[in-house]
Amino acid sequence: MQETSVTKRFNELFDKLEHCDEDEQRQKIEEMNEMINEMDEEEFEYVFTTELFNKIHEMIEDKKISLENAILLLKYIGYYKVLKGIRINGFNESSLEEKFKEIIYDENEKKDEDKNEIIFVDICECYFMLNNQFSSDMYPICAPCLLNVASSKEKKEEAQKKVEVALLALSNSSTVNV
């Protein structure tokens, strides 16, 4: 596939991320998320490859992007993937998937007072939405976490959005490798 204008603009913004401060990164990520909405399935698959996910992992490790900012982008990629029913294999084959598993295991082992609940939920949501096949050891950790979020009785719009994302992530978890 020849690179289209939306994929080219996305990749150009992505390449600039590591040279920005936190606020500039968030702004660029918001722009990138808007560009994702413009992509068709072929463009989406063209952009979100193993190489891109490995690059995100490398940027996190090298502290060129915060985990929180990476999650902003990854959560939207996963959200769009699940909403549009697109399969991408890039995440499953990336070092980022292994990093997320490590974070999930580490957060799950922590006592409640030491656990970063926001990161734990966000990583579980990303993991479930970006994956095509799940290892059976992740499901018993992430599913209860997401079910807990989904069972929230708060009526605020922000809380309801969290419930929606958690349910969407759970809906993508039907292909568990046992």
Calculate what percentage of the chain has a pLDDT beyond 70. Answer: 90
Q: Which residue in this structure is represented by tokens 């995440």?
A: 91
Which amino acid is present at 170? L
Average per-residue pLDDT in the chain? 88
**What is the mean predicted confidence (pLDDT) over 71-85?**
94
Total domains, the chain = 1
Of 66 and 164, more confident = 66
Q: Does residue 64 carry a pLDDT above 90?
A: yes
Q: What is the CB-side half-sphere exposure of residue 29 using CA atoms within 13 A?
A: 23
Q: Cβ contacts of residue 154 below 8 Å, gap of 6+? A: 160
Assign 178 a pLDDT band (cuts: 50, 70, 90): very low
Q: Does residue 177 carry a pLDDT above 50?
A: no
Q: What is the pTM of this model?
A: 0.86
Q: What is the pLDDT of residue 38?
A: 94
Q: What is the pLDDT of residue 173?
A: 65
Calculate what percentage of the chain has a pLDDT beyond 90. Answer: 62
3-class SS shares of the chain: helix, strand, coil, % to 5: 70, 0, 30
Lowest mean pLDDT among 12-16, 24-28, 162-166: 162-166
Query: How far is the first Cα of the chain from the last one, in angstroms, to the nearest whole number?
Result: 35
Strand partners, 82: none
Strand partners, 134: 176
Question: Model confidence over 97-150: pLDDT tens digits?
Answer: 999 999 999 999 998 888 889 999 999 999 999 987 766 788 889 989 888 888
Q: Which tokens go with 64?
A: 């060129």
**What is the mean predicted confidence (pLDDT) over 150-170?**
73
**What is the mean predicted confidence (pLDDT) over 55-65?**
97
- Domain interval for residue 80: 5-177
